[in-house]
Structure 1
């Protein structure tokens, strides 16, 4: 467990009034401990309070907080204003949080939203314990990449996007910094494991370059010859039997179900495979080229993401997850 000197220094850190500034030095002095600084903004008066969680190697956690003599009285800590329960107002019509959650409740059938919220919480916990600070140059590079990824190529486009999403410039910088820090964390977690992962799972990242056409349900499974595939696709689209969509695509083996992957990646380039049933009809695929995964920047990024996702799933399996709405069978963790 933490010794008396560490606890005294922790109290000094909290009481000095510069906990966020001095946290890195405290961590450096006590590298064996996992330290997390908790920030609590009181809605009643806007005051900011800090608490410190210290985890030792034995798994125990010490929680420390400090309050100045003339701070907000304890009975008022955590008091919520009525407006905090309001999420949205449109033309004077108010939407409380409870109603918004009820509107989103159907999403639990897929649980993607819930999974993303839990993942975000786990990532923030990790970044609070071991921050990934960025230099000004790195932040600028991350901002440029953020803009390019969203097609925000002019200052006007950036401003319009910020206004639409109700973001200030500091909030945009924070959003970019978090995204860049997560990328760093992902690389740190996957460090030294990419080659080993590829040796076992690399085939999942094999690439097939294809032309594909989805036919409507009533069109019937007509399979054109390979040489006339694109002409047949044009005619089918013209007469309404082919559905709109991208014709050319790059597929990864791991993105496909087993049966489709076996046929696509087992085909000789230049041949047509299918039909494969879809929700709206059936799909025909002409295989143009098949390439094994090679360790380039793209494959490394994909491998790191898979390793990171598996690592997060293991952390999630041991996390204490508490939802404050919904039914227990849906929200229990």
Structure 2
């Protein structure tokens, strides 16, 4: 059995279409969208949710009447059920994420927390170990403030903020720097540390522990969803990729 896609009077084999899409670097995103559609297909929405989603779409696209809605549907070759599916897509994705990973979120959050905690810290970075030592002792002795020395000597963007950086997630920092901040107490001044081409003087100002609030839940659910989606794409064989791509076009002919 051979699957074909018809575009006008031209027929393209599904496998050939896969090759074309891959060459245009479109295939990975297309496959992701198709996998998502298959996953959320069974997810229901209430009448109220459908109505709210459609109204939101109308507002975003300035569809103000039944006539303009029908014209929009005709323009994009879509019927009402297809339109409702499109309008509720993000809601059904959110429901799928919650149903699939919601019960695992607390344990996942605890695993990720050390990377999600944020820090506000002061930093001076210089290229010379001797200068770093001198600046450290000046700060320790109270001869000059950290901010004054950072403004005068630091080689990074922190020179413009009197040494203050953050809040920034620890997971976004160099692992060595993040580890140092994790074990710091507010106000603790660290002896100069060599990191790459620079010598760093660090002082933790404030540690802001991550909280599993509404926004963090949404973020972590998206993380788990994206990881799952990547795995699903990697699992697909060539035959299934061909079938999914051809099916997505809405015009698949099976020829025995």
TM-score when scaled to structure 2?
A: 0.53
The one of 108, 127, 132 aligned to 2:37: 127
Partner of 2:108: 197
Which structure would you say has the larger RCO, counting Cα contacts within 8 Å and 6 or more residues apart?
2
Matches within 5 A, 1:269-284: 269-273=186-190, 275=193, 277-278=195-196, 281=198, 284=201
Matches within 5 A, 1:109-148: 118=28, 121-131=31-41, 135=50, 137-138=52-53
Q: Which runs of 5+ in 2 are unaligned?
A: 14-21, 63-74, 77-82, 242-256
Superposed displacement of residue 129, structure 1: 4.6
Q: May I ask how many residue pairs the two structures share in their alignment? A: 197
Partner of 2:12: 78
Contact 1:206 1:292 in 2 (8 A): yes
Partner of 1:34: none
Q: Secondary structure at the match of 1:230?
A: helix
In 1: Cα distance, 2:170 partner to 2:39 partner: 36
Q: Residues 209-253 of structure 1, C-alpha deviation per residue, up to 9 Å, x if partnerless?
A: 2344555x579762543772222222236xxx4447774312333
In 2: Cα distance, 1:296 partner to 1:302 partner: 10
In 1: Cα distance, 2:128 partner to 2:57 partner: 48
Contact 1:221 1:282 in 2 (8 A): no
Matches within 5 A, 1:61-210: 76-78=10-12, 118=28, 121-131=31-41, 135=50, 137-138=52-53, 182-210=93-121
Bigger helix share: 2
Contact 1:236 1:242 in 2 (8 A): no
TM-score when scaled to structure 1?
A: 0.43
The one of 311, 318, 331 aligned to 2:235: 318
Q: Which runs of 5+ in 1 are unaligned?
A: 1-39, 45-71, 80-96, 102-113, 147-154, 156-168, 324-333
